[in-house]
Amino acid sequence: MLNKYARAFFTRVLTPFAAFLLRRGVSPDAVTLLGTAGVMAGALVFFPRGEFFWGTIVITSFVFSDLVDGNMARQAGISSRWGAFLDSTLDRVADGAIFGGFALWYAGKGDDNVLCAVAIFCLASGQVVSYTKARGESIGLPVAVNGLIERAERLVISLVAAGLAGLHKFGVPGIQVLLPIALWIVAVGSLITLVQRVVTVRRESEEADAAARSSEAAS
């Protein structure tokens, strides 16, 4: 939903910044790499220590690079297969660091095995959700479904909750409960999305196989 409705808005807002970077000689690949490094640092330095507010601030400063890199490539007319591969692959790395950071907190000082497991489930299911689309497309299917919770939703739900939960350290009472709630929502939403995508791939692959068999029989 966010990919559909919010992308146009962010494209308008970020286009001047992307043009500025291009004028300064920065490449889209450099933005992809630097953005991922920033997200990883924010997630792995701050989240395992329970510093959710500062971790979210650092991650938010870098995560929008994922919208800037493609914007730069399109403006400069240099969109490439390599760029698409690098972008998607490093998305997986960044997501691993974010949910891994939550899991490390709950495995350590956060001391909650159930939430540690939920965070690991969010990490794994998010990766599998993205894989279903990539693998389906690689075998020639359209995978014409996005599903309930795509990457943008996973990030917005968990980061808004983490940022607000982090305000607990500044004296806001009770607010830390938002992070467990968000992780449960992302876990359940990702499971539903996974089922939606698998069902779609199953239907599309049966249709494609049937069409191939009938054209073989006809010839």
Ligand X SMILES: Nc1ccn([C@@H]2O[C@H](COP(=O)(O)O)[C@@H](O)[C@H]2O)c(=O)n1
Ligand Y SMILES: CCCCCCCC/C=C\CCCCCCCC(=O)OC[C@H](COP(=O)(O)O[C@@H]1[C@H](O)[C@H](OP(=O)(O)O)[C@@H](O)[C@H](O)[C@H]1O)OC(=O)CCCCCCC/C=C\CCCCCCCC
Query: Which residues carry a binding-site annotation for Mg(2+)?
Result: 66, 69, 87, 91
Residues in 51-70 that interact with ligand Y by CB under 6 A: 56, 60, 63-64, 66-67
The one-letter code for the residue type at 57 is: I
**140 three-class SS:** coil
Contact track, ligand Y, 74-113, x by CB under 6 A: -------------xx--x----------------------
Nearest residue (CB) to ligand X, 40 versus 187: 40
Per the structure block, which two tokens stand in for 153? 């939703």
* Class of residue 123 by CB neighbours under 10 A (exposed 0-12, middle 13-18, buried 19+): buried
Query: Which residues carry a binding-site annotation for a CDP-1,2-diacyl-sn-glycerol?
Result: 29-32, 70, 74, 80
Catalytic residue check, 91: yes
Q: Using CB under 6 A, pick the residue from 79, 146, 196, 205 that binds ligand X.
A: 79
86 forms part of the interface with ligand X (CB under 6 A): yes
Name the nearest CA neighbour of 188 among 145, 160, 139, 148: 148
Nearest residue (CB) to ligand Y, 106 versus 197: 197
Residue 154 near residue 95 (C-beta atoms within 8 A): yes
Per the structure block, which two tokens stand in for 9? 């808005």
